Amino acid sequence: MSTLLQINSSLFADQGQSSQLADAFVRQWRAAHPDGRVIVRDLGKNPLPHLSAERVQAFFTAPEQRDAAQQAHAAASQELIDELKSADVVVLGLPLYNFGVPSTLKAYFDHLARAGISFRYTANGPEGLLADRKLYVFAARGGFFKGTVLDTQTQYVTHFLNFLGIRDIEFVYAEGLNVSAEQKQKALEQAQQQIAALAA
C-alpha cells in the first residue's frame, strides 16, 4: 500500500492557495491509488514549537541519559522523522512570506534534522539517511519571484531536503496571485494544468 504525506504550511491552513493546490494533487493521487494511505500534517492548524536550547540539548543527550522532558522532545522529533520515512510520496504546500518559508515550516525542518538519525557526517561530507522518494512542492506567491535572486525558497527547500537524502523534487509555481484578479486566475489555472499532467 502506497503512502502519501501531505504537509501544509500556510497560515490559513487548508484555505491557503498552496494548500488548495496540494489538495488538488492529492485528490488525483487518491483516484489513482484507491488503496493508498494519506497522512496530512497541517502546520497552520498544528504548529510545531521552534527549537530551543532545551530541545537541542535533548537531541544531543544519549537516549539512556535523557530525563522525562528530554525523552518527550526526542520522541516528538522521532515521530516526524518516522512519518516522513513511511511516505512513498510527499506533497508540500508552500506559501511565500516576506521572501522566505513560513516559520512553522522552518520549525518542522529543524525537528527533522537530527545528526545520526536523518543525516550523518562522513569523511566525504554529510550524507542524508532518509531514503529518496518523490516530493512535490506547490509554491504560491503573491508576486513574481521564480528564477530571481529573491526566490530564496526554491534553493533553501531543495538544499535542505537534499541534505536529508531526498533528491527527487519537483516544483509547481503559482505566482502573481496578488497582482490582479486576472493574473491570479491565470496562474492558478496554469498550476492546475501542471497538476493534471503530473497525475496523468
Return binding residues.
10
d(CA 61, CA 27): 42
d(CA 22, CA 91): 6
**Measured CA angle at 197 (ends 182, 133), to 5 deg:** 115
d(CA 195, CA 164): 26
Residue list, annotated binding site for FMN? 10
Phi, psi angles (nearest 5°) of residue 148: -110, 170
d(CA 38, CA 30): 8
- Which grid coordinates belong to 82? 518516522
The set of residues, in sequence order, having a beta carbon less than 8 Å from that of 7 and lying 6+ positions away, is 41, 43, 90, 91, 92, 93, 105, 108
